[in-house]
Structure 1
Amino acid sequence: MTAPQSRRWLAILCFLIVVFEGYDIVALGATIPVLTDPAIGGFSVDEMNIVNTVSLVGVGLGAASMGRIADRFGRRAPLLVAVAVFSVFTLAFPLMPDATLMGLTRFVAGLGLGGCMPVALAMMQEAAPVGRRALANNIPMIGYHLGAVLASLAGRFAGAEWSLLYYLGGGLGLVLLVLLWIGLPETAPADERARAPKTSLADVLRPRYLRSSIGLWVAAFMGLVLVYGLNAWLPKIMGAAGYPVADSLIMLFVLNLGAIAGLVISAFAADARGIKGVAMIWFAAAAALLVVLSIPFDAQVALTAAIFITGVFVFSAQTLMYAFAGHVYPRNLVATGIGLTSGIGRFGAIIGPWATGVMVAAGTAYPGAFYLYAGAAVLAVLAVAQIPNPKKAASVDA
């Protein structure tokens, strides 16, 4: 297999890996209404909120730990283990008899799921041609949105048979595991790892990387406050603003269409103009557009356009932090760096929806939530601004 063919095959496999993250997050959201229906699941809302939160904690811990393991033992084996754990425990989830065991199962599945993405992105960046690292990082992230769409469609089809979503996700995960076993290359060969200086988790806090690490963590945290807060609550927020419920659901779809466009546009911009400046522009534009959304729109076309453009900037701004990590850390530390950026950022994915939910309950989500998100985006701009400008040469080639 030639180098371009190998890169294409790796890109396909990593794309499919990220699809499962989007699928998994939306699958639980799609089944919670059924699980809390007294006539079907019979669980309380509080029980399912705990299950969802525990799942996200597992994803964060998995992301933070698996990157370190991948830098120590190579990319291929940890990724195979992560996919296997996610698939098996996703299949087991519908079989659990109570909320406690469901939460435990989701936590372990989250460990596997969270461990997949940083390793996959590290492999993509390592295999990318010179000057195309941001594109290699962002294209697989489109899979997240594809997975979300697939889960929402599967949820509508399954209806009360909610367990089908997990059998489908876990079963396809096992199919992917076979494909990975057959065709996944090792992008960090053993002889190269043996020659590389030994690293530890604490290395990301050495003076050389300290400012960069803190900046990436804060920006990723703030970015996921936006992403998960909007994905979880946008229909409710816009409904509170007086827009029809059907239009609010369409707004969420349009927001994610903008996200897909933004992933491509931001990647080309970052590769051409430099990732730090583009990341700052993207977060700043997100802040401004979120404030714009707090203003009532009379024309539906204008509102739809504003939401689409907001999606272009909000989602890809956070994703650029993973590509940025590839510029900051050397090859023997890059999976650790991406993993910690993803893992710490995941707690923003918990805080964002929680804070928005509090505002919804208090009746202040419109326009208050948009100001909360805009403030988070401004903090992300400041966090990125203090990161030293990365060298033009690719750090993972170091």
Structure 2
Amino acid sequence: MALEGFDLVVLGVVLPSLLRDPSWGLNPASASLISVVGLVGVMVGALAAGPLTDRFGRRSMLLVTVTSFSVLTLLCAFAPGPVLFGVLRFLAGLGLGGVLPVAIAMVNEFARSGRGGSATTVLMTGYHVGAVLTSLLGILVIPGLGWRAMFVLGALPALVLVPLVWLRLPESIPVERGPAARRNPIATLFRGGYLRATLAFWITSFMGLLLVYGLNTWLPEIMRSAGYALGAALALLLVLNVGAILGLLLAGRVADKIGVRTSTIAWFTAAALFLALLSIKLPGVGVYVSVLLAGVFVFSSQVLVYAYVSQYYPAEARATAIGSASGVGRLGAICGPVVGGTLLSAGLAYPWGFYAFAVVAAVGAVSVSVVGRIRSTDTPDRRMETA
């Protein structure tokens, strides 16, 4: 998950350099297109990986996805221009999209009863640890080695990780054989009373991922348009993701105590409030505190959606449900960079961009409130006993 967190932030980290490289000829609109192409790959990967994971097993799909996106991320470092770079981002996205539904399904199947919320959020701290390290690497590496070194460093951990997964990671549930294996997990999402919840989860995930990718892609440039230096703008991106880690650790504990539904609604509501407050330009340390608080609620809101989905659906459709929420939500991830790039091109990113993001968070709070309480009786303890 930390490697996927790297991919979440790396484009936002290298964009200031790419936009100022005359040989690439990028502007905010064309840079947004590259981001969109990569996210389309992530969307396709997430939608495809869910059913494949429910059919062929969690462990094998994790190996396939991590290996593929790591190799293709390395190749991004050698792209001679924006066209091939965009193609490689799309292909890497296919593997990246599959990681999340596989990992969340596995961690919920190993989690103790009543701990699914914190198990999911603790897992996803890896996502934002990767994002924080990438922001820090950008500050340290790009001035001396250039942006290409970022993709080399992002791919190298797979040399250690893939053999460890192969040797040490067990399967969480057995792969089904016979008639059970022929059941269509996609159909489960739309029958038996799940239709309304599925649609509501899709809308909420759309809003959540619009916020995550819109902010991580364009926050440095938005802050630069507000008058901050490049170093400070990149530091604010780092602070945003530090807030995300703190928020995840807090959100999981809250979800285990008061319920994942209530906590998800509360988190989206708080995200709307703190995003609106970012429109106020604060001096000194004040802006860092404001961005930190926004990060606490924005990113963990989306992770709580995944925790909610993983507990709401039965085991035979769990990865498919997570993958569909993640995949459809990637349309929001595509819209986020487009919205940010459009506002930057129009000279409206600061402060109106933060108002727009606040409205998105408010819509997320409303849509997730449509989903009822947990329906699945397939608890973690029972899953492991049957396995």
Instruction: Tell me the alpha carbon deviations over residues 111-161 of structure 1, each in whole angstroms, 9 at most, x when there is no partner.
Output: 011111110111001100111111111112111222123333444325445
Structure 2: state its 5+ residue gaps: none
- Decide which of 326, 330, 335 is 1:342's aligned counterpart: 326
Query: How many residues align structurally?
Result: 379
The offset of 1:346, in angstroms, is 1.6
Letter in 2 for 1:203: T
In the alignment, which residue of structure 2 is the partner of 1:13? Answer: none
- Give the Cα separation in 1 of the matches to 2:328 and 2:212: 15
In the alignment, which residue of structure 1 is the partner of 2:374? Answer: 390
Q: Which of 234-243 and 342-351 deviates more?
A: 234-243
SS at match of 2:372: coil
Letter in 1 for 2:245: I
Report the TM-score, using the length of structure 2 for normalisation. 0.88
Closer, same or farther: CA 393–210 of 1 in aligned 2, 3 Å: same
The offset of 1:25, in angstroms, is 3.1
Instruction: Tell me the alpha carbon deviations over residues 207-242 of structure 1, each in whole angstroms, 9 at most, x when there is no partner.
Output: 521111111111111111222222223344344445
Q: Which of 315-324 and 351-360 deviates more?
A: 351-360
In the alignment, which residue of structure 2 is the partner of 1:279? Answer: 264
Is the CA contact 2:63–2:166 (under 8 Å) kept in the aligned structure 1? yes
Q: Which of 132-141 and 19-28 deviates more?
A: 19-28
- Give the Cα separation in 2 of the matches to 1:37 and 1:301: 28
- Give the Cα separation in 1 of the matches to 2:233 and 2:34: 26
The 5 A counterparts of 1:282-321 are 282-297=267-282, 300-321=284-305
Report the TM-score, using the length of structure 1 for normalisation. 0.86
The 5 A counterparts of 1:183-332 are 183-190=168-175, 198-241=183-226, 247-297=232-282, 300-332=284-316
- Give the Cα separation in 2 of the matches to 1:152 and 1:247: 11
Letter in 1 for 2:84: L
The 5 A counterparts of 1:1-398 are 18-35=1-18, 38=21, 42=24, 44-45=26-27, 48-155=31-138, 156-157=140-141, 159-190=144-175, 198-241=183-226, 247-297=232-282, 300-391=284-375, 393-394=377-378, 397=382
Is the CA contact 1:53–1:350 (under 8 Å) kept in the aligned structure 2? yes
Letter in 2 for 1:292: L
Higher relative contact order (CA 8 A, sep 6+): 2
- Give the Cα separation in 1 of the matches to 2:119 and 2:184: 25
Q: Which of 137-146 and 234-243 deviates more?
A: 234-243
Closer, same or farther: CA 239–28 of 1 in aligned 2, 3 Å: closer
Is the CA contact 1:209–1:328 (under 8 Å) kept in the aligned structure 2? no
Is the CA contact 1:266–1:316 (under 8 Å) kept in the aligned structure 2? yes
Letter in 1 for 2:173: A
Is the CA contact 2:77–2:151 (under 8 Å) kept in the aligned structure 1? yes
- Give the Cα separation in 1 of the matches to 2:326 and 2:141: 32
- Aligned CA-pair RMSD: 2.6
The offset of 1:385, in angstroms, is 0.9
SS at match of 1:190: coil
Is the CA contact 2:203–2:329 (under 8 Å) kept in the aligned structure 1? yes
Closer, same or farther: CA 44–140 of 1 in aligned 2, 3 Å: same
The offset of 1:395, in angstroms, is 5.1
The offset of 1:189, in angstroms, is 0.7
The offset of 1:24, in angstroms, is 2.1
Letter in 2 for 1:168: L
- Give the Cα separation in 2 of the matches to 1:47 and 1:302: 33
Structure 1: state its 5+ residue gaps: 1-17
Instruction: Tell me the alpha carbon deviations over residues 144-190 of structure 1, each in whole angstroms, 9 at most, x when there is no partner.
Output: 22212333344432544543333333332232111111011111113
Closer, same or farther: CA 161–234 of 1 in aligned 2, 3 Å: closer
Percent identity between matched residues is: 42
